[in-house]
């Protein structure tokens, strides 16, 4: 197992794209650290992501290996896609 942390860098979303994603209820939340106990689904996973707006790196639950997800940064509150 590697000691290197792999981070998925997000891409910025414009305000209208972010609002549409939030209204649809399909988004993930960027947390400062992984939860103490984690249960992962069959197709979704959790991993490190970086906010393109403020540079915050955190643990994101609810990522999908087949699609980009809208993520809300826990530090600055802005939306991005990862």
Segments making up each domain of the chain, as ranges: 7-34+45-81
Q: Does the pLDDT at position 81 exceed 70?
A: yes
Query: In the chain, how many H helices and how many E strands?
Result: 1, 7
Residue 12 has a pLDDT of 93
Q: Does the pLDDT at position 2 exceed 70?
A: no
Q: Is the dihedral of CA 18, 22, 25, 27 positive or negative?
A: positive
**Which of 44, 37, 34, 42 minimizes the C-alpha distance to 67?**
44
Residue 4 has a pLDDT of 79
**Which of 1, 7, 2, 18 minimizes the C-alpha distance to 60?**
7
pLDDT digits (tens, 9 = 90+) for 14-72: 999 888 888 887 788 787 777 666 555 445 778 899 999 999 999 898 888 777 888 99
**Reduced to 3 states, what is the DSSP secondary structure of residue 31?**
strand
pTM for the model: 0.54
């Amino acid at each position: 197992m590697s000691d290197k942390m792999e981070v998925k860098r997000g891409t910025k979303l414009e305000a209208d794209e972010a609002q549409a994603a939030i209204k649809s209820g399909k988004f993930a939340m960027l947390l400062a650290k992984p939860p103490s106990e984690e249960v992962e689904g069959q197709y979704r996973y959790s991993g490190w992501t970086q906010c393109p707006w403020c540079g915050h790196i955190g643990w994101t639950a609810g990522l999908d290996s087949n699609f980009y997800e809208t993520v809300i940064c826990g530090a600055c509150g802005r939306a991005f896609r990862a």
